[in-house]
């Protein structure tokens, strides 16, 4: 993880937030390449769940919602983690459930929990609500209290009726949304894995009650496929079913897609069968009927919900971790991000071999012709080796080099990031060749190793 963090800073993917003031704990800012990478992750998600299906519509609900939403959803009452504080020297705060899991994993189940840092005694656990609170309007009173949403899901449930009316959908159909969520996590950490402000990519998929189990299975397969098609190595992915004691208050069954992060297997996405909990709760609290009525048969029911809920930041981290590679080439160490080309922030770098003889002008013209077709970068600074290394570290899959031969016969060298193979082709063919490669299936070269 340290290497990923260092690369992110060195190459402008992700920075500590408010760094000039000493940084704000566990909050991060995305720089140029980080923005491009995360937006590619989100674009691939939209593509898979909306563009390539005809049973899903998009939504972008507000972050601030009516406070009664959180009464109905159960978050006001139950969105808590068990907080314990060290009563010894260090006074650190911990999640009791995390300490218990760690103790069990180390074969110390049943033993008294102590502070992992100073060994001090721990306080009795108390339920700590993770929702961030703020006030709407100029007066800070109980009636103006609102919350930053802790999940995007509730914005979908409260819009169920709108979508049913205007999108002309009937179950099985889904609503997809990407947006920020906020949780006052007790122990954030592991870089962008667990932060207090993060982005979710959530689907609420509404089905007839009898079909819920089948759709739960289908979505687990579908979501696993998405990660592997975008290059995550299958042996670093697993599905893990929640035990009864782990289930959220709304769920009858949940499976997590877990990735083998540097700190061990950890949740990437949860896929829950939420039953009719949410629609029934919101119907009861709002007085609106939230059900489906078949206009032909007159059949009516409250749809059940299957929820594939992913984190955009966590997915971005997993893709980076999976892509990170080091190798020795001709006696020199090379760091390379072997990202799926569709996720790579820049698809092609155009480089003049030398900064003279008309090569920079020719390279710029090639770059300007390419950038309308795909994200491209023109790079003329430093030795050619240094420029290749920079592009390897940001994961650019292809490099086009303009050299003296280009000036003679209009051909360029096309370099492949992973195989390091170089081929020669005419400038006029470059755009179409890169588009062909971008559309082709791809698997991680790390699989072979």
Rounded to 5 degrees, what are φ and ψ at 175? -120, 130
- The smaller minimum CB distance to ligand GAP, of residues 69 and 195, is found at 195
- The smaller minimum CB distance to ligand GAP, of residues 62 and 448, is found at 62
Q: Which of 309, 396, 406, 444 binds ligand GAP (CB under 6 A)?
A: 309
The sign of the CA dihedral 222, 224, 227, 230 is: negative
337 binds ligand GAP (CB under 6 A): no
Helix (H) or strand (E) holding 16: strand 14-16
CB 384 within 8 A of CB 353: yes
Please, what's the b/e burial string for 289-322 (b: 16 or more CB within 10 A of its CB; e: otherwise)? ebbbeeeeeeeeebbbbbbbbbbbbbbbbbbbbb
- The smaller minimum CB distance to ligand GAP, of residues 240 and 300, is found at 240
Q: Within positions 393 to 412, which residues make up the interface with ligand GAP, using CB under 6 A?
A: none
CA-wise closest residue to 349 among 323, 376, 324: 376
- The smaller minimum CB distance to ligand GAP, of residues 180 and 424, is found at 180
- The smaller minimum CB distance to ligand GAP, of residues 173 and 261, is found at 261
Q: Within positions 211 to 270, which residues make up the interface with ligand GAP, using CB under 6 A?
A: 267-270
Distance CA 348, CA 338 (A): 14
Q: How many residues does the chain have?
A: 449
* Size, binding site for ligand GAP by CB under 6 A: 19
Helix, strand or coil, per DSSP, at residue 8: helix
CA-wise closest residue to 276 among 182, 361, 209, 202: 209
CA-wise closest residue to 398 among 335, 347, 360: 347
155 binds ligand GAP (CB under 6 A): no
Q: Which of 11, 84, 129, 151 binds ligand GAP (CB under 6 A)?
A: 151
Q: How far is the CB of 78 from ligand GAP (least distance, A)?
A: 13
Q: How far is the CB of 356 from ligand GAP (least distance, A)?
A: 49
Distance CA 371, CA 377 (A): 8
Q: Is the omega angle on the peptide bond into residue 172 within 30 degrees of 0, that is, cis?
A: yes
430, with CB counted inside 10 A (0-12, 13-18, 19+), is: buried
Q: Which of 38, 169, 236, 314 binds ligand GAP (CB under 6 A)?
A: 314
Distance CA 342, CA 208 (A): 35
Rounded to 5 degrees, what are φ and ψ at 216? -60, -45
313 binds ligand GAP (CB under 6 A): yes
Question: Mask: binding to ligand GAP, 173-202, rule CB under 6 A, as x and -?
Answer: ----------x-x--------xx--x-x-x
Task: Dig out the tokens for 247 from the structure.
Answer: 């289930």
311 binds ligand GAP (CB under 6 A): yes
- The smaller minimum CB distance to ligand GAP, of residues 65 and 369, is found at 65
Q: How far is the CB of 198 from ligand GAP (least distance, A)?
A: 4
Q: Which residue is closest to ligand GAP by CB?
A: 311
Q: Within positions 80 to 119, which residues make up the interface with ligand GAP, using CB under 6 A?
A: none
Q: How far is the CB of 190 from ligand GAP (least distance, A)?
A: 9
CB 444 within 8 A of CB 231: yes
282 binds ligand GAP (CB under 6 A): no
Q: How far is the CB of 293 from ligand GAP (least distance, A)?
A: 27
Q: How far is the CB of 271 from ligand GAP (least distance, A)?
A: 9
- The smaller minimum CB distance to ligand GAP, of residues 65 and 380, is found at 65
From residue 51, how far is each of 21, 54, 277 by CA, in Å?
43, 8, 28
Distance CA 269, CA 313 (A): 11
- The smaller minimum CB distance to ligand GAP, of residues 28 and 173, is found at 28
Question: Mask: binding to ligand GAP, 47-76, rule CB under 6 A, as x and -?
Answer: ------------------------------
- The smaller minimum CB distance to ligand GAP, of residues 194 and 362, is found at 194
Q: How far is the CB of 225 from ligand GAP (least distance, A)?
A: 17
Q: For binding to ligand GAP (CB under 6 A), which residues are involved? A: 151, 153, 183, 185, 194-195, 198, 200, 202, 267-270, 307, 309-311, 313-314
């Amino acid at each position: 993880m340290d290497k990923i963090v260092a690369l992110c800073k060195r190459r402008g993917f992700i920075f500590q937030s408010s760094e000039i003031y000493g940084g704000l704990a566990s909050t991060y800012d995305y720089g140029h390449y980080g923005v491009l990478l995360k937006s590619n992750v989100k674009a691939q998600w939209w593509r898979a769940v909306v563009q390539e299906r005809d049973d899903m519509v998009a939504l972008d609900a507000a972050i601030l919602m009516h406070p009664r939403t959180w009464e109905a959803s159960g978050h006001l009452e139950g969105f808590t983690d068990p907080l314990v504080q060290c009563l010894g020297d260090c006074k650190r705060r911990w999640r009791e459930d995390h300490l218990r899991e760690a103790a069990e994993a180390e074969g110390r189940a049943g033993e008294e929990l102590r502070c992992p840092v100073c060994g001090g005694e721990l306080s009795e656990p108390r339920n700590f609500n993770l929702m961030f609170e703020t006030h709407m309007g100029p007066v800070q009173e109980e009636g103006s209290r609102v919350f930053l949403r802790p999940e995007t899901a509730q914005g979908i449930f409260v819009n169920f009726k709108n979508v049913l009316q205007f999108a002309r959908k009937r179950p099985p159909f889904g609503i997809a949304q990407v947006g920020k969520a906020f949780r006052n996590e007790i122990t954030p950490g592991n870089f962008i894995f667990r932060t207090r402000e993060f982005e979710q990519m959530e689907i609420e998929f509404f089905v007839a009650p009898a079909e819920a189990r089948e759709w739960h299975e289908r979505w687990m397969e579908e979501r696993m496929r998405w990660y592997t098609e975008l290059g995550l190595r299958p042996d670093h992915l697993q599905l893990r079913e929640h035990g009864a004691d782990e289930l959220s208050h709304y769920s009858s069954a949940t499976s997590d897609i877990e990735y083998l992060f540097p700190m061990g297997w950890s949740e990437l996405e949860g896929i829950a069968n939420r039953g009719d909990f949410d629609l029934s709760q919101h119907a009861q609290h709002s007085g609106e009927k939230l059900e489906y009525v078949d206009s032909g048969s007159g059949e009516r029911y409250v749809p059940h919900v299957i929820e594939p809920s992913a984190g955009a930041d966590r997915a971005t981290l997993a893709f980076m971790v999976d892509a990170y590679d080091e190798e020795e080439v001709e006696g020199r160490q090379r760091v390379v991000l072997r990202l799926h080309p569709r996720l790579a922030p820049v698809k092609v770098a155009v480089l003049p071999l030398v900064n003279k003889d008309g090569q920079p002008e020719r390279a710029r013209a090639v770059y300007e012709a390419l950038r309308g077709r795909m994200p491209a970068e023109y790079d003329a600074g430093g030795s050619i080796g240094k420029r290749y290394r920079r592009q390897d570290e940001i994961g650019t899959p292809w490099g086009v080099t303009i050299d003296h031969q280009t000036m003679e016969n209009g051909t360029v060298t096309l370099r492949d990031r992973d195989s390091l193979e170089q081929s020669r082709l005419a400038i006029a063919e470059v755009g179409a060749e890169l588009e062909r490669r971008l559309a082709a299936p791809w698997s991680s070269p790390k699989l072979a190793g």
